[in-house]
Structure 1
Amino acid sequence: MSHAPTHVTCSDVSFEWPDGTPVLDGFHWAVGPGRTGLIGLNGCGKSTLLKLVAGELRPSGGQIAVAGSIGHLPQDVTLATGARVDEVLGIRDTRAALHAIEAGEATEANFAALGDDWDVEERALATLDQLGLAGIGLDRTVGELSGGEGVLLRLAALLLARPDVLLLDEPTNNLDLRARRRLYAAVESWTGVMVLVSHDRELLERVDQIADLRDGEVRWYGGNFSDYEDMLAAEQEAAERMVRVAEGDVQRQKRELVEAQVKLARRKRYGQKMYENKREPKIVMGARKRAAQESAGKHRIMHAEKLTQARERLDQAVEAVRDDAEIRIDLPATQVPPGRRVLTMTDLRLAHGVEVAGVREVRGPERIALVGGNGSGKTTLLRTIAGLVPPVSGEAVTHVPTRYLPQRLDVLDDGRTVAENVARFAPHATNNVIRARLAHFLFRGARADRAAGTLSGGERFRAALAALLLAEPAPQLLMLDEPTNNLDLASVRQLTGALESYEGALLVASHDVPFLESIGITRWLLLDGELRSTTAEEVRQSRWED
């Protein structure tokens, strides 16, 4: 029986950061053809693993073997603003040779530069068109493109190069719904080896298998993300059942040990009474006493060993149950009564010609989704409401305490600890109160003393959210800008749980439709030159972006 060749193999790989922090130790992994979704908690080493496979980082031990060429789309795509589109695509020299030959410069150097790639421009334009970039042209510069277009352009360069192994790290970050659809189609049509790191559920529904990186090891699950969730739920149910069985066994072994000790104590008292009454010869009673002591010792050891083994089985069963802890908080001070006026926007005009005509109000604990394409002005509107940038005309007035969490999470001071950052927003709260509240955000004990600059993406988000929600006065209008970007799936669940406890008004700008639906959005607003109402169904189909 033949097997498909493995294209990526990690053998006994170790890696640590310059400060000695370990990431991988004795790591083994093999990936063959197909689309693999690599998931795991923030900070577990997913992005580091992709960089190791791509050769951008060197392992401190072990070997990484890759059969074929590699293309890598990193999480943070940075392109020189002065670079031309054809330069990013890697075809500038080939195009120049083609144009020179067409102009009559049929030199050996030009033919060597062109090779057999006579259709280079047609292939490049077809690839751009596949990703919705047909209109950008090969001669434009990167500085003329939006952030989302830059990501798609870098992906187009990889698709054009046709690598044997394609590595994608959070490719849908900063992409609007139209661009995401284009990327989904590109992923579905990929026939080689693909490893993608993502928190985007809709993207993960398009993979062939899930690789779950946890505690330095990978567990494989066949199928897409829904299949993974079903299998994981069954695993966890079995693991929790084993914990209950193991707990029962420990209690039974404890009872048997106590019962054995009681029986042995009775035997000892009976033997002592017989000895005192001298009912048998002294030598016989002495032999019985020694035999009883030996038997009692063996009995105690046997039951103690059984109890120890039962406890070990319990520990193993507990370890099999995942502890993706959830944020649980009580925020009564954020409550907004129904009908209370929260926000008023009057004839608001923003930069780039975006308008909010007439009077628009937010009342009570509404949960509003702000959607629109990249560059439509969602972030500008949130920053204007937060008072960070002035409008061109009109006004936005908030009537309740308001907090805004930007995409960059720059509300935190990297040089301060998590507890110190929260104290900045709640200066009247005691240290004990701050630490008790932070425990609900999963920053317990020494974790609250970590500097903000050392936190992973998910930890940083939790710390920023804690600083805003625990602020004085408590925010009754909370604005979030693309909150799920760079969050792993467990962190997204934690965020959803935290927002369930929030009782104020919520205004969220996001392209992540499943997340928006999970937090109970009550009103959908589309920003597309002007602000208008829309529906969840229209957003899902993204008719307004076609």
Structure 2
Amino acid sequence: MPASVSLHHLSYSTPDNQPLFTGLELSFGAERTGLIGRNGTGKSSLLRIITGHLQPSAGSVTVQGSIGMLTQSVQVGPDDTVADHLGIAGELARLDRLEQGLGTIDDAGEADWTLPGRIETALAEVGLPALAPERLLSTLSGGQRTRLALARLILAAPDIILLDEPTNNLDADGRQAVVDLLHGWRGAAIVVSHDRALLREMDAIVELTTLGARTYGGNWDHYAERKALELAAAEHELSTAERRVVEIDRKIQAVAEKKARKDGAGKRKAARGDIPRIMLGGMKENAENTSGEGARLANRLRADAAEAASDARSKVEILTPLSVTLTPTNLPAGRTVLQADGLTGGPDAASPIIREVSLQLTGPERVAIAGPNGSGKTTLLRLLTGALPASAGVARILVPYAMLDQTVSLLDPGLTIRDNFRALNPESDENTCRAALARFMFRADAALQTAGTLSGGEMLRAGLACTIGGDNPPQLLILDEPTNHLDIHAIEQVEAGLRGYDGALLVVSHDAAFLAAIGIGRTIALPMNPV
């Protein structure tokens, strides 16, 4: 039977009883399906329910075939090895016992002598050299560990693979390894991703929203086209329905005013004695009957129009676009922003990752630092900012700057967004603070959220608000993998914020679509270091 996953009236709520999705009816077959949606809609939770690691609040899951899953991140212990990460430590130990003549009959019966060759092939397929099985995971970068996890899937060869943000932390070659893995996959694949390039490789897209789940045949480009048409139609329907409510309200008001004028005229006539008493009683009764029928008709029309507007509104997910106008940095075009000469260094001074790097930024340049995993991109940023002492060479930043790393560590997680802004901008008054935060959609009580409770997208948006949103934005902004763990809507918000910034940008990112959207004009490539 072909590999498949079926969800039957599936619902799930978080431990604090916040519903993520309700009554999902979905089927995944032997094709590559991209699962998209904003952070918090339950994509990762849905994968964990499919694997059985989470129990749904209601409904059931039917799985035909074996499952392998690549998670977003893995906790690495100090003694964890490559063999542990590949899930073959026990198998290799069995082969080792047999080679030493210490194996049992069970060892001989269960031994897989093809394993060493398959390991080498799997590592090569994901772009890794032949790593020693006993090598500690802590000596590998996050991207290299992700590639190892992909190799584990190749070794296990399950019928169904679940990939949760597989291209996070991966360089261009690593991302291509994910694409190649999916190209050759003959079973079912469900891929949670915000990587638009990867989503273009899908056969179908399933979108999770606050309105439920919707399946679109085709890849990301087909989804984006269909979604735009659907959204335009839904917004037109909503606009028409809301105008109808306003028109009916206006007519009801006009009829009420006309009746009030007519009743007033009748009362004045009656007061003058122009109408016989017997006729007054009949006219009053007729007016009351007519008024009652009119009111009932008006109420029915108003209720029908309001119901139509409510139905139309329920089809539109409210997503507020971010369009930011920022205070200019007044960075002169010819001003030297950053200068590095012969920069050398790394966490281990005896074995520097960065060797004799020289670079210069002038004026409002937008520069990307590129390179394969392990080439030292983050290390270079730390050397440039002085967070890591250089063992040779010199680096100088000659203008005010701010750096947002992958965790936005410049924000104190125990403070509110408002208090973080005031701490980072002590010269700004309360009005400036509130205006800056409002530009990045932290209005009123939203500005009083504690930073540690924010999602990844909200945290980065708060970091941008606290650095470039005020009256004196820095003339250089340094970003280290800013789109990791952000959903597509959040990435688009960040792109909008950065497009409004007129200072210099120095960015580490493997997201080609993001770099294009923020107008990167120059790329500095770092060479690969030995694994």
TM-score, L = length of structure 1: 0.88
Maintained 8 Å contact 1:36/1:208: yes
1:415-434 counterparts in 2 under 5 A? 415-434=414-433
Residues 458, 277 of structure 1: alpha-carbon distance in 2 compared, 3 angstrom cutoff: same
Aligned to 1:72: 69
Aligned to 1:47: 44
Code of the residue aligned with 1:265 in structure 2: it is: A
> Which moves more between the two structures, 26-35 or 149-158?
26-35
1:366 shift after superposition? 0.7
Maintained 8 Å contact 2:338/2:398: yes
The reply to whether residue 339 of structure 1 matches residue 334 of structure 2 is yes
1:377 shift after superposition? 1.7
1:389 shift after superposition? 1.5
> Which moves more between the two structures, 267-276 or 377-386?
267-276
1:184 shift after superposition? 0.9
Code of the residue aligned with 1:16 in structure 2: it is: T
Residues 343, 92 of structure 1: alpha-carbon distance in 2 compared, 3 angstrom cutoff: closer
Aligned to 1:85: 82
May I ask how many residue pairs the two structures share in their alignment?
524
Out of 21, 32, 35, the residue aligned to residue 32 of structure 2 is 35
The reply to whether residue 260 of structure 1 matches residue 255 of structure 2 is yes
Which secondary structure state, in structure 2, belongs to the residue aligned with residue 391 of structure 1? coil
Q: Percent identity?
A: 37
> Which moves more between the two structures, 164-173 or 269-278?
269-278
Maintained 8 Å contact 2:4/2:27: yes
Which secondary structure state, in structure 1, belongs to the residue aligned with residue 145 of structure 2? helix
Post-superposition Cα deviations, 1:242-268, rounded to whole Å, max 9, x if no partner, equal 233223312321332133224423543
1:425 shift after superposition? 0.3
Code of the residue aligned with 1:112 in structure 2: it is: G
Aligned to 1:516: 515
The reply to whether residue 391 of structure 1 matches residue 387 of structure 2 is no
The reply to whether residue 297 of structure 1 matches residue 292 of structure 2 is yes
> Which moves more between the two structures, 57-66 or 299-308?
57-66
1:54-453 counterparts in 2 under 5 A? 54-98=51-95, 100-101=97-98, 107-114=104-111, 117-215=112-210, 217-269=212-264, 271-272=266-267, 275=270, 282-351=277-346, 352=352, 354-356=354-356, 360-453=359-452
Q: What is the rounded CA distance, in whole Å, between the counterparts of 1:442 and 1:21 in structure 2? A: 26
Maintained 8 Å contact 2:20/2:42: yes
Aligned to 1:484: 483
Q: What is the rounded CA distance, in whole Å, between the counterparts of 1:168 and 1:294 in structure 2? A: 68
Code of the residue aligned with 1:155 in structure 2: it is: L
The reply to whether residue 505 of structure 1 matches residue 504 of structure 2 is yes
Q: What is the rounded CA distance, in whole Å, between the counterparts of 2:362 and 2:247 in structure 1? A: 59
Code of the residue aligned with 2:355 in structure 1: it is: E
Q: What is the rounded CA distance, in whole Å, between the counterparts of 1:49 and 1:503 in structure 2? A: 41
Aligned to 1:22: 18
Which secondary structure state, in structure 2, belongs to the residue aligned with residue 428 of structure 1? coil
Residues 469, 21 of structure 1: alpha-carbon distance in 2 compared, 3 angstrom cutoff: farther
Post-superposition Cα deviations, 1:299-320, rounded to whole Å, max 9, x if no partner, equal 1332243234324433443443
Aligned to 1:538: none
1:35 shift after superposition? 1.7
Residues 529, 426 of structure 1: alpha-carbon distance in 2 compared, 3 angstrom cutoff: same
> Which moves more between the two structures, 309-318 or 269-278?
269-278
Q: What is the rounded CA distance, in whole Å, between the counterparts of 2:91 and 2:383 in structure 1? A: 46
Maintained 8 Å contact 1:123/1:160: yes
Q: Which runs of 5+ in 1 are unaligned?
A: 531-544
1:5 shift after superposition? 7.4
Residues 282, 63 of structure 1: alpha-carbon distance in 2 compared, 3 angstrom cutoff: same
1:161 shift after superposition? 1.5
> Which moves more between the two structures, 486-495 or 39-48?
39-48
> Which moves more between the two structures, 159-168 or 391-400?
159-168
Q: Which runs of 5+ in 2 are unaligned?
A: 347-351
Code of the residue aligned with 1:9 in structure 2: it is: L
Residues 322, 215 of structure 1: alpha-carbon distance in 2 compared, 3 angstrom cutoff: closer
Code of the residue aligned with 2:360 in structure 1: it is: E
Which secondary structure state, in structure 1, belongs to the residue aligned with residue 383 of structure 2? helix
Q: What is the rounded CA distance, in whole Å, between the counterparts of 1:461 and 1:439 in structure 2? A: 15
Which secondary structure state, in structure 1, belongs to the residue aligned with residue 309 of structure 2? helix
> Which moves more between the two structures, 450-459 or 211-220?
211-220
Which secondary structure state, in structure 1, belongs to the residue aligned with residue 478 of structure 2? strand
Aligned-CA RMSD value = 2.7
Maintained 8 Å contact 1:403/1:468: yes
> Which moves more between the two structures, 280-289 or 98-107?
98-107
> Which moves more between the two structures, 313-322 or 330-339?
313-322
1:274 shift after superposition? 6.3
Q: What is the rounded CA distance, in whole Å, between the counterparts of 1:216 and 1:255 in structure 2? A: 32
Residues 29, 411 of structure 1: alpha-carbon distance in 2 compared, 3 angstrom cutoff: farther
1:471 shift after superposition? 5.9
Q: What is the rounded CA distance, in whole Å, between the counterparts of 1:51 and 1:249 in structure 2? A: 45
Maintained 8 Å contact 1:15/1:22: yes
Post-superposition Cα deviations, 1:287-345, rounded to whole Å, max 9, x if no partner, equal 23212211112213322432343244334434433433233333224231211221122
Which secondary structure state, in structure 2, belongs to the residue aligned with residue 337 of structure 1? coil
Maintained 8 Å contact 1:6/1:30: no
Residues 166, 23 of structure 1: alpha-carbon distance in 2 compared, 3 angstrom cutoff: farther
Maintained 8 Å contact 1:341/1:361: yes
